[in-house]
Amino acid sequence: MGEVRVAVLGVGAMGADHVARLATRTAGARVVVVSDLVTERAEHVAASVPGCRVVADPLDAIADPEVDAVLLATPGAAHEKQLVACLELRRPVLCEKPLTTDVASALDVVTREVALGSRLIQVGFMRRFDDEYVALESLLDSGDLGRPLLLHCVHRNATAAPGFDAAMILRDSLVHEIDVTRFLFGEEIAAVQIITPTPNPGAPIGVRDPLIALLRTESGRHVDVELFVTTGVGYEVRTEVVGERGSAMIGLDVGLVRRSTTGRWGGQIPAGFRERFARAYDTQLQRWVDAVRSGAGTDDQVDGPCAWDGYAAAAVCAAAVESLETGERVAVRLADRGMLSGAGG
């Protein structure tokens, strides 16, 4: 395949960023169609890309004869129908998380893809493409730390979007640490418990923030995650692995450390996730496009998190929401992966 002609569905903040990346920083790709519920927004984004058209109906955009691949940045509730349409037409698709909004529909999507005998769905867990996470995974693979035993994570935002509640903290923030755990440890998460400390007085009324998530993997490894989305400070994501023979931490933002005559020292905290993971997003899109080009006509057009990864994350999130309500440890209920031949990552 030569140039990959991409349809981008959903061109809000995230989707518009992806259009710009594909148009200006991704080799071998061209955005030919955009679609959004807000027509004016779609027209504005399309006007920034030469030769790009607006197709109002997202299913028509997927089926457009000029489209080779699809990027989904639509609301999660729309993903199931759009993913099924991509599978029916054998369109490779990069789907921003969540895969779908519930466990049953996520498993259905996995099952449909397996039935095709082709891997077409990649899920947008961009941290797997971040230089620091890649370096941490390589360190674990080298065995220098011995057997990894513990994982400590911090996920902080300055402010939460309007309408953000505690369940959304789990589905939108914790979901990344869930995928990071599976990525670094190479095994599934077996149980989760959510602890609710004294809430931040600055959090919106009724929002339980911060939260502590305790995850336990199949082999018994312990993971703790601090989730605090109304710090008022900035975007902070840190990950520390503790092993038999040492530990390693990423996310310290130590690219530039400044000391001043005021007696203060420090660096710059990113304002948000798009700034912190900008390079990871670039790498993710380039590798996806490369996989679509090199895999054209084959049964594998994915280079990164697959549909199963999206389903597994949804299952852990569902257990976390249940634990939020009960305060108890909740077992993660996953389908038997061995019964889904071809659902490999």
- The reply to whether 136 and 268 lie within a common domain is yes
Residues 248 and 289 in one domain: no
Please indicate, yes or no, whether residues 158 and 230 belong to a single structural domain of this protein: yes
Same domain, 133 and 263: yes
Does the residue 30 lie in any domain?
yes
Taking each helix axis as running N to C, give the angle between helix 103-116 and helix 307-326, from 0 to 180 degrees, rounded to the nearest 10. 170
Q: Are residues 180 and 225 in the same domain?
A: yes
Domain assignment of residue 137, given as a range:
128-272
Residue 232 forms part of a structural domain: yes
Q: Provide the CATH number for the domain around residue 196.
A: 3.30.360.10
**How many Å apart are CA 110 and CA 194, to the nearest integer?**
27
Task: For residues 181-189, give the mean pLDDT.
Answer: 97
- CB 35 within 8 Å of CB 18: no
- Whether residue 267 is found in the same domain as residue 138: yes
> Model confidence over 218-264: pLDDT tens digits?
999 999 999 999 999 889 999 999 999 999 999 986 543 444 456 66
Mean pLDDT of 188-195: 98
Give the integer Cα–Cα distance in Å for 20 and 52. Answer: 12
Residue 329 falls inside a structural domain = no
Q: Is residue 312 part of a domain?
A: no
Same domain, 120 and 133: no
pLDDT digits (tens, 9 = 90+) for 89-98: 999 999 999 9
**Tally of structural domains, the chain:** 2
Give 312-328 pLDDT, tens digit per residue: 999 999 999 999 999 99
Tens of pLDDT, residues 5-22: 999 999 999 999 999 999
Report if residue 29 sits inside a domain.
Answer: yes
Mean pLDDT of the chain: 92
Of 23, 22, 25, 29, residue with least CA distance to 4: 29
| Predicted confidence (pLDDT) per residue in 284-315, tens digit | 999 999 999 998 878 899 999 999 999 999 99
Q: 109 and 142: one domain? A: no
Identify the band that residue 342 occupies on the pLDDT scale cut at 50, 70 and 90. low
Would you state the pLDDT for residue 331?
A: 98
Q: What is the pTM of this model?
A: 0.92
Tokens of 263: 């007696």
> Based on the domain organization, do 132 and 12 belong to the same domain?
no
